[in-house]
Amino acid sequence: MITVQISSIDNTETILKSGYSLSIQLKKNFGIVWFLNSFETKDQIEISINKIIDNFELRHTKIFIIENKNESIDIFCERVESSFLFLQLQNTKSKSIQNSLKQCRNLRIPYILWKTNFEKLNLDQVIVPVGFLEEEVEKAQFASAFGRFSNSSIHLLLANDYGSKAMNNAAKMISLFDKFDFKHNQVKAKTDSFKIEFESIQFAYQVNGGIIIISASRDYGLDDLFFGPKEYHVIRKSDLPILLVNPRGDLYALCD
């Protein structure tokens, strides 16, 4: 299932149409989830969501209104077997983004924090920055899904590192893309693995990219707790959707 979490009825057209379009491309069910606040009633929210569904012609949409205060978004996604999450951002203030990232920290599926100024998701050109960490390779399976079902062109932006880890990661991705004959190319970045995600934003604008796939932070350091992790800063800076992939903590050691 492709799931869209909304918390406001306003400014939902692009996020819902993007999620719905992706569900058709990936041949998945489509669902809308709303976590009920204490001042809201289930009937009221259900009526409002049904009006949106009718207005946007989102056929066969499933509605989930969560009243259980103990059910987090990651628990919900596992319960309904969601494979992709769009999460509506009410604003781009620091607290809103940080809270949303915290909600998604334990997700095992890819997710997008959706800004209200985003246009409908365009998957013609997919940007994948490639750094030196092991988990970078995980992004290949999601880029491959876009290559297979959305006929996307995949642009690998290779970090300009001294070592060979980033190049090895890119080689593993390319071997997968070649196996299925996906359209792809590789470009050498000007920056290293620590700044590659920020350069990928500018690169995306140059090639009319529609989405950037990045790995979320594996662990939070002291600076991340005070000033926000790298993905927080990338999301704030980008006017394009950022697809986040959480590293699997059970697959990697604490240090490389």
Residue 251's pLDDT is 46
* Residue 133 confidence (pLDDT): 92
pLDDT at 250: 52
In this prediction, residue 224 carries a pLDDT of 46
Q: Is the pLDDT of residue 192 over 80?
A: yes
Confidence of residue 29 (pLDDT cuts 50, 70, 90): very high
> For residue 218, what pLDDT is reported?
66
User: For residues 232 and 97, is the Cβ–Cβ distance under 8 A?
Assistant: yes
Can you tell me the mean pLDDT for 203-221? Answer: 87
Give me the pLDDT at residue 226, please: 46
Q: Would the pLDDT of 256 be above 70?
A: no
Mean pLDDT over each residue of the chain, to the nearest integer: 91
Q: Is the pTM of this model over 0.75?
A: yes
% of the chain exceeding 70 in pLDDT = 92
Asked whether the predicted pLDDT for residue 230 surpasses 50, the reply is yes
pLDDT of residue 255: 38
Strand partners, 190: none
Q: Which residues pair with 127 in a beta bridge?
A: 155, 212
User: Which residues, in sequence order, are CB contacts of 7 under 8 Å at separation 6+?
Assistant: 34, 35, 88, 90
124 Cβ contact list (under 8 Å, min separation 6): 150, 151, 152, 153, 208, 210
pLDDT of residue 249: 57
**Kind plus residue range of the DSSP H or E element containing 50:** helix 42-56
Q: What is the reported pLDDT for 21?
A: 97
Question: What is the tens place of the pLDDT at every residue in 105-160?
Answer: 999 999 999 999 999 999 999 999 999 999 999 999 999 999 999 999 999 999 99
Residue 187 has pLDDT above 50, yes or no: yes
53-87 pLDDT, tens digit each: 999 999 999 999 999 989 999 999 999 999 999 99
Higher-scoring residue by pLDDT: 224, 244: 244
What is the mean predicted confidence (pLDDT) over 176-196? 96
Indicate the angle between helix axes 230-237 and 94-103, nearest 10 degrees: 130
- Domains of the chain, earliest start first: 2-114 (3.40.50.620), 125-245 (3.40.50.620)
Residues near 173 by beta carbon (within 8 Å), at least 6 away in sequence: 128, 130, 137, 139, 140, 143, 156
